[in-house]
Amino acid sequence: GAVVSQHPSRVICKSGTSVKIECRSLDFQATTMFWYRQFPKQSLMLMATSNEGSKATYEQGVEKDKFLINHASLTLSTLTVTSAHPEDSSFYICSALRTSGRVDEQFFGPGTRLTVL
Amino acid sequence: GDSVTQMEGPVTLSEEAFLTINCTYTATGYPSLFWYVQYPGEGLQLLLKATKADDKGSNKGFEATYRKETTSFHLEKGSVQVSDSAVYFCALKAAGNKLTFGGGTRVLVKP
C-alpha cells in the first residue's frame, strides 16, 4: 500500500505555544488530505479536508483560526495548532487520498500525539 | 447524519477462537463500508471493504458481508492469532470521500 508519514510522532508543548504537524504522502501525489482527531478510547473525528492549492474545508464545530491547515504541495499538508491549551491534547491523524482510476482510497499516517502542559 | 455503531471492547479471546465484531450503520443513500485495523503504534490500515449490498469483503482470514436489510457489516474471523490483537474500526463512506468511523473495538488475543 501507499505510505503516509507524519512528523513529529509526539510533541509536548507549553500552553500558549503553537505546534505544527506535517503529513506527507511519500509515494503518491495527493490533492486531498484529511485531518482527524482521536480522543482516548474513542473514534476518529474528521476535523477538516485539506485541498492542495485552496482553502481547507472545516467540519462543523472546528475552529478555523485555531487549527490552521496548509496544503502547499501535492505531497505535504500541515496542521498548526495555534495557542495550544491542555484541552487540545489529543492524537492527531492525517490521511491522504490516492485516486486511481475509479477507485479512491485513503491512506493513513501513524498519528501525532500532542500533549499540552 | 451518517453514523456507525460498533460493539464496545475490549474483546479478549484465546488463540484460535472465533471473533465477531458487530457493526451497524445509518446513512442516506448507498454507502461503501469498510473495516480498518490499527495495530499498536501504527496508523490505520484498510482491512477490507464492500461497496454494495450483499458484497463480501475478505482479507487475512477476516470477512464481512454488506447487509442492507439489517444495515450491518459485521466482521468475523474463524481462528484468531495473537498478531490479530489491535483496534478495529468500522467505517462508511457516503457521498464524496469523507469517512465516518465507529468508536473502535479493541481486540486482545491471548496465547
pLDDT surpasses 80 at B93:
yes
Q: How many CA atoms lie within 13 A of A70 on its CB side?
A: 7
pLDDT of residue B97: 83
Query: For A47-62, what is each residue's pLDDT tens digit?
Result: 999 998 889 999 999 9
Percentages helix, strand, coil for chain B (3-state, rounded to 5) are: 5, 55, 45
Q: Are A85 and A66 in contact (CB under 8 A)?
A: no
Contact list in A for residue B100 (CB cut-off 8 A) is: 46
Nearest CA of chain B to the CA of A111: how many Å?
6
Contacts of B23 in chain A (CB under 8 A): none
Q: How many CB pairs under 8 A join A and B?
A: 41
**Predicted local confidence at residue A1, as pLDDT:** 65
Nearest-angstrom CA–CA distance, A57 and B103: 23
Residue range A65-109, pLDDT digits in tens: 999 999 989 999 999 999 999 999 999 999 999 988 777 889 999
Answer yes or no: do A106 and B101 touch at CB < 8 A. no
A97:B97 CB<8 A: yes
Which residues in chain B are closer than 8 Å to A44, comparing Cβ atoms? Answer: 44, 89, 99, 101
pLDDT at A13 over 80: yes
pLDDT digits (tens, 9 = 90+) for B3-27: 999 988 899 999 999 999 999 999 9
> What pLDDT digit, counting tens, does each position of B29-52 carry?
889 999 999 998 788 999 999 999
Partners of residue B50 in chain A, C-beta under 8 Å: none
pLDDT of residue B29: 82
Q: Which residue has the higher pLDDT, A41 or B41?
A: B41
Residue B10 CA from chain centroid, whole number: 14
Residues of A in contact with B102 (CB under 8 A): 43
B10 CB within 8 Å of a chain A CB: no
Cα distance from A100 to chain B (closest Cα, Å)? Answer: 13
Residue A58 burial (CB count, 10 A): 16
Q: Is the CB of residue A61 less than 8 Å away from at least one CB of chain B?
A: no
> Which of A32, A43, A111 is facing B43, going by the closest CB pair?
A111
Is the CB of residue B44 less than 8 Å away from at least one CB of chain A? Answer: yes
The bridge status of strand A10-13 relative to strand A112-116 is: parallel
Is the pLDDT at A16 greater than 90? The verdict is yes
Question: What number is the average pLDDT over the span A4-13?
Answer: 96
Confidence grade of residue B60 (pLDDT, cut at 50, 70, 90): very high
Kindly identify which residue of chain A lies nearest to residue B9, measuring between CA atoms: A41
